[in-house]
Amino acid sequence: MSLTNRDKQIIKALDKFRVMDRDSIAELFFAGLKNPKYAANNVLLRLLRDGKIQRSTAFIPYCYFGPNVQIKQQSQKIGHFLAILNVYTEMLKLGDLESFLVEPKFLRKSECCEPDIFAHFRRTPFFIEVQKTVYSVKQMQEKLERYVLLYESGIIEKPFPHVLILSDQRYAIDENYPFKVFQSESFTLFVASLKSAPVSKPSESGVRIVVK
């Protein structure tokens, strides 16, 4: 059976996010149907049967992978990638998401940072760290110093993206970085925290955060 356009979009998304749970797939690709989860199950079972995707039953709801994704089906990385996917769905709901890249590579990992997300949201570029494990102050400083190396490399066009750390843990962060650093428990709460600010707030780097 030939792939439908939606089949192709699902497979492309699985390759992009590495792993997606059934409920997120239903929300993103079957939202207009009467029973999105039921419809998603039927399509995913067909794609699985035809060898177009992979599945892990170690999680509830089940998780799915693209055909070329190399990840152990019980890997701890699955939770990390699902957290990145959750940020994506949050940003979609908030509107004006122009681009979203998962773990983009700019230089070798030993030379600079490796962001979890690079996104353009409401005309503003962001590097986003989805921090589910608790870092020490030293570890967080080292992570941010890698962003400084990327900033100094000049390979990122100005203005340099804001760095947003999404974590339940609040870190004591030095203000003396050549870019803006924000912290929040979620992207939704981050946007909500800006609503008390003026409609557009220029940062020191010249980036404008547009609040709607």
Task: Mention every residue, 6+ apart, whose C-beta is less than 8 A from residue 189.
Answer: none
Give pLDDT tens digits along the chain (212 positions). Answer: 799 999 999 999 999 999 999 999 999 999 989 999 999 999 999 999 999 999 999 899 999 999 888 888 778 889 999 999 999 999 999 999 999 999 998 877 656 788 999 999 999 999 999 998 888 889 999 999 999 999 998 999 889 999 999 999 999 987 789 999 999 999 999 999 988 655 444 444 444 444 43
Query: pTM for the whole thing?
Result: 0.88
The amino acid that residue 6 corresponds to is: R
The amino acid that residue 121 corresponds to is: F
Mark which of 18, 41, 73 sits at the end of a domain.
73
Residues 89 and 171 in one domain: yes
Mark which of 35, 57, 73 sits at the end of a domain.
73
Q: Which domain holds residue 50?
A: 5-73
Residues 67 and 103 in one domain: no
Residue 153, phi then psi, degrees to nearest 5: -70, -25
Residue-wise pLDDT tens digits, 87-139: 999 999 999 999 999 999 887 765 678 899 999 999 999 999 999 888 888 99
Residues 28 and 129 in one domain: no
Q: Which helix (H) or strand (E) holds 159?
A: none
Residues 84 and 164 in one domain: yes
Residues 87 and 190 in one domain: yes
Residues 119 and 67 in one domain: no
Distance from C-alpha of 37 to C-alpha of 146, rounded to nearest angstrom: 41
Residues 40 and 145 in one domain: no
Q: Which helix (H) or strand (E) holds 130?
A: strand 124-130
CATH of the domain at 46: 1.10.10.10
Mark which of 57, 73, 89 sits at the end of a domain.
73
CATH of the domain at 204: 3.40.1350
Residues 98 and 62 in one domain: no
